[in-house]
Chain A
Amino acid sequence: MARYRGDVEAVKALVRETEVHRDVYIDEEVFALEMEHVFGNTWVYVGHDSQVANPGDYFGTTIGTQPVLMVRHSDGTVRVLHNRCPHKGTRITTETYGNTGKFFRCPYHAWSFRTDGSLLAIPLREGYDNTGLEQSHAAQGMSAVRHVHNYRGFVFAKLNDTGPSFDEFFGESLSSFDNLIDRSPVGRLEVAGGVLRYMHDCNWKMLVENQTDTCHPMIAHASSAGTAIDVWKNAPAGAKKPMAVEIFAPFMSSYEFFEKMGIKVWPNGHGYTGVHHSIHSDYSAIPGYFEKMVEAYGEKRAKAILGENRHNTVYFPNLMIKGPIQLIRVFKPLAADKTLVESWTFRLVGAPDVLLERTLVYNRLINAPTSVVGHDDLEMYERAQEGLHVDANQWVNIQRLYDASEVPDATAVTNGTTEWQMRNQFRAWSKFMTMSM
């Protein structure tokens, strides 16, 4: 029996000012509605255009649970197509990457489609003469996603016609992308190093919330980061601190450190930790990098770019990016209790290789299925996914540093241990979930 479909009031009642009902994490009907509405009405990250450098290059991924292809069309623009043949539904490509040449060709009956999705040819076409094929769904070819935006290489798509424009949706929050991209002396990134894929038996939103949860590292990661610090204490005097210890140690920073690092919230559920400093602030300088940045931007601007040490920027609904470490994490929803986390790394074009090397060390130590920090976090998510089935209390608390004067879609900088960004995400969730119901 449907409890939420078509019932705006019931959906809205799931999100209160300082708590949310467990059904947003465990209910499959709510999950299905999220896929239609939250992942339909917002701009969802698809991929980076360096993954499809040449005409005909494609990259297979998902928007919510919908399989799509990001493809470089013959006119040089990046298109996003639904990955099914309009004839019988056959998936057109199953490889993640490839080059399809001038057209896609279905392996079942050889219907072919231009790289903008339009129907090119059907074998034995006269079989459709006078059948009215022109009026069919099939004649449209591979359905193209109508709303696609390429922001300095990062490609987003919006499945529904409802929802805000790209600029309205992201607004000033794009400054985190700018800072990441500007760290390349030529202002360009390339996907590099491979993607880590980590399966989580929990709801996708737990991961998104964790990105700005600054009261957990010193507790949940005491086992990994804390142990790293302890083991390093026994190193011989004068030994050079390895990159790995430099990466682990700041996870054990004090509450005061995280309070002072600050959190900024933006409209539509975006926000970031690390306004004033972050766990990435004290990494060693990379020889030769600053000089290249000064050459490209001048000293003042180079210092301003590298002086930003934003920690995690959350882009609602399911993306997190880092600037000082060139990586992004995509939280791909598979079911109410299943999420695939993809952690992608980037090369700063024109910068020393050591930066990519450090980013890869970070990704491996923190985001791999073999990562001890990952084990710490996943244990907490999976315990929550189970614990939420307790009927005695059906609410999750997001009250920390709540202020009754807090308004939806505010832009504000506040204490780094606030849960305002989580409330911000849920206010956005409520808005996008119900705007087309």
Chain B
Amino acid sequence: MTPPTDQDLIDFVLRETRLIDQHRFGEWLDLFADDGVYWMPLEWGQTDPRMTASLMYEDKLLLKIRVERLKGNRTFSQKPKSRCHHLLQTPQIEKRDDGANQYVTWTPMHYVETRLDRQDIYAAWATHTLAVIDGGLKIKLKRVDIVNCDAAFGNIQLFM
């Protein structure tokens, strides 16, 4: 099997956020490996997701609960629905290890989430740890570090 090119990794990250922006959450969820995790630390430079609080540290089951909830008829915090927009810098290849099947990209971004008349903007860095599984790239870990991760936020309802 041919290892992914740098451009494959970049395209994957771009498509991943595009699926979120277009509310294609089912397809988005399929990008995660079965043991994939979405992590949004609470602390600056956080290393431990277990004994330190995080904003999100979710396996595929928890992500699926979110995705199903967004569709629910009794999900009142989504009436009307939130919308979001990612503005990415070109993802940079942080690490590629074909032998270990591990690829890491680093992507600075601005994320906007809106609902009704309210618009919130966040600046963050996304770090994707990817692997080739069954012939395609999958997310082992998506880590989102918000610049002001320790600030008091209102609702963040979608996915950065």
Could you tell me which A residues sit within 8 Å of B by CB distance? 192-201, 220, 222-224, 226-228, 230-232, 235, 242, 244-245, 248, 340, 345, 353, 356-357, 360, 363-365, 368-370, 372, 374-376, 378-380
Contacts and interface: CB of A to CB of B under 8 A. Distances in A.
29 contacts: A193-B51, A193-B53, A194-B42, A195-B53, A198-B153, A198-B154, A199-B153, A201-B154, A223-B74, A223-B76, A224-B65, A224-B69, A227-B65, A227-B72, A228-B65, A230-B68, A340-B152, A360-B50, A360-B51, A364-B54, A364-B55, A369-B155, A370-B40, A370-B55, A372-B65, A372-B66, A375-B157, A376-B76, A380-B76
A201 B75 CA distance: 19
Given A356-B51, A363-B53, A369-B55, A197 B152 contact: yes
Nearest to A197: B152
B147 interface: no
B36 to A, nearest CB: 15
Contact of B51 (A245, A353, A368): A353
Interface string B54-65: 111101011011
A378 B75 CA distance: 12
A interface: dominant SS:
helix
B68 A231 contact: yes
Given A357-B50, A369-B55, A220 B68 contact: no
B72 A364 contact: no
Chain B: interface size category:
20 to 34
A195 to B, nearest CB: 8
A378 B43 CA distance: 24
Contacts of A248: 65
Contact of B53 (A220, A231, A360, A378): A360
B37 to A, nearest CB: 13
A141 B12 CA distance: 60
Contacts of B150: 197
Contacts of B69: 223-224, 227, 372
Contacts of A244: 61-62
B151 interface: yes
A370 B56 contact: yes
B152 A199 contact: yes
Nearest to B55: A370
Interface in B77-96: 77
B43 A194 contact: yes
Q: Which of B52, B56, B65 has its CB near the most chain A CB atoms (within 10 A)?
A: B65
